[in-house]
Chain A
Amino acid sequence: MTFFIWSIVKPVIEILVLAIVFYRILVFFQGTRAFQVLKGMTYLLIAFLVSQLFGLDTLNWLLTKVFAISILAFVIIFQQELRQGLARLGRGSMFSPTLEESEVIALVDEITDAFFKLSEKMTGGLIGIEREAKLKTYIESGIQLDSLISSELIQTIFKHDSPMHDGGLILRGQRIVAASCLFPLSENQNLSKIIGTRHRAALGLTEQTDAVTVMVSEETGEISVACDGKFIPVTGRERLQEILKDLLIVQPKSDEEKTK
């Protein structure tokens, strides 16, 4: 009986572990140039396995050669990304990319303070906060920094005469990792024609990744938060803090709290 149960449980455990490994690899490469290549290689792998399964010898021979070459090409082309990934794996942060609740609260306080001050001065600003999907492609488009977040630093960067005021800031954890980054513009056809480029960029990043964006309009001083391709209205300082905490504190925790 025990043997029978184990023969069922064993493949389930093996498949789950494999699925977690594949998922982590895909999440790691999501939002990077390597992701498209990885997608192509996945199709090749599936075609290779199907050709093996049905005994399609010619196709199998060709795919074996192509697959072997593409693995080598992938390693050469993306050696930098692979090196960074392995380094991160060594630090253990690849499996725990989230912040502690107290760190999120400190982060949210700095962002809220900075954005309300920018709003008072009618200065535009845009921040993308990285969550699970990596924003490497967008970080590479800007000026790379590595600084602990502070309200003063955000305000300085977005000052009109600052060379880095154009584009968006990217936050990873409690650090500002890049400024002047180019975010993808939203392709939503239903957006009003009067909406500016900053709004479109704020929305565009959240359409393509799971990032959260916060922006302040230069024209109206209005602050908005975007997530999953939608704007969330911000009515005041406390509301902004509440929205950001809900979005950034690890989800299973907040779900448990909601059910209490």
Chain B
Amino acid sequence: MKHFFLHNLSLKIVSLGLAVITWIYVNGEILKHR
């Protein structure tokens, strides 16, 4: 299980960061249009 989380860790962190940024941006846009 530990290997599952630690494998390709940097890519996982980058993906999570991108997901958070995208979510914030898209939600901001949705709120703007409401």
Residues of A within 8 A of B (CB): 11, 14-16, 18-23, 26-27, 30, 42, 45-46, 49, 52, 132-133, 210, 251-252, 255-256
**B31 sits at the interface (CB 8 A):** no
The answer to whether B18 touches A252, judged by C-beta atoms less than 8 angstroms apart, is no
Q: A45 to B16: give the CA distance in the assembly, Å.
A: 14
Q: Which residues of A contact B18 (CB under 8 A)?
A: 18-19, 22, 42, 45
**B2 sits at the interface (CB 8 A):** yes
Q: Which bracket fits the contact residues of B? A: 10 to 19
Q: Which residues of B contact A52 (CB under 8 A)?
A: 25
Q: A26 to B15: give the CA distance in the assembly, Å.
A: 8
The 8 Å CB contact of B11, one of A14, A15, A30, is: A30
Residues of B within 8 A of A (CB): 1-4, 7-8, 11-12, 14-16, 18-23, 25
**Number of CB contacts from chain A to chain B under 8 A:** 56
Closest 4 CB pairs of A and B: A18-B19, A19-B19, A23-B15, A22-B15
The answer to whether B19 touches A22, judged by C-beta atoms less than 8 angstroms apart, is yes
How far, in Å, is B21 (CB) from chain A's closest CB? 5
Q: A22 to B19: give the CA distance in the assembly, Å.
A: 7
The answer to whether A255 touches B1, judged by C-beta atoms less than 8 angstroms apart, is yes
The answer to whether A15 touches B8, judged by C-beta atoms less than 8 angstroms apart, is no
The answer to whether A251 touches B7, judged by C-beta atoms less than 8 angstroms apart, is yes
Q: A211 to B22: give the CA distance in the assembly, Å.
A: 31
The answer to whether A46 touches B21, judged by C-beta atoms less than 8 angstroms apart, is yes
With A19-B15, A42-B18, A210-B7: A49-B25 Cβ-Cβ less than 8 Å: yes
Q: Closest A residue to B14 by CB, please name it.
A: A26
How far, in Å, is B3 (CB) from chain A's closest CB? 5
Q: A21 to B21: give the CA distance in the assembly, Å.
A: 14
Q: Which residues of A contact B14 (CB under 8 A)?
A: 22, 26, 42
Q: A19 to B19: give the CA distance in the assembly, Å.
A: 5
Q: Which residues of B contact A42 (CB under 8 A)?
A: 14, 18
Q: Which residues of B contact A30 (CB under 8 A)?
A: 11
With A19-B16, A22-B15, A27-B11: A255-B4 Cβ-Cβ less than 8 Å: yes
Q: A133 to B10: give the CA distance in the assembly, Å.
A: 13
Q: Which residues of A contact B1 (CB under 8 A)?
A: 252, 255-256
Q: Which residues of A contact B15 (CB under 8 A)?
A: 19-20, 22-23, 26
The 8 Å CB contact of B4, one of A27, A133, A251, is: A251
Q: Which residues of A contact B20 (CB under 8 A)?
A: 15
Q: A244 to B34: give the CA distance in the assembly, Å.
A: 56
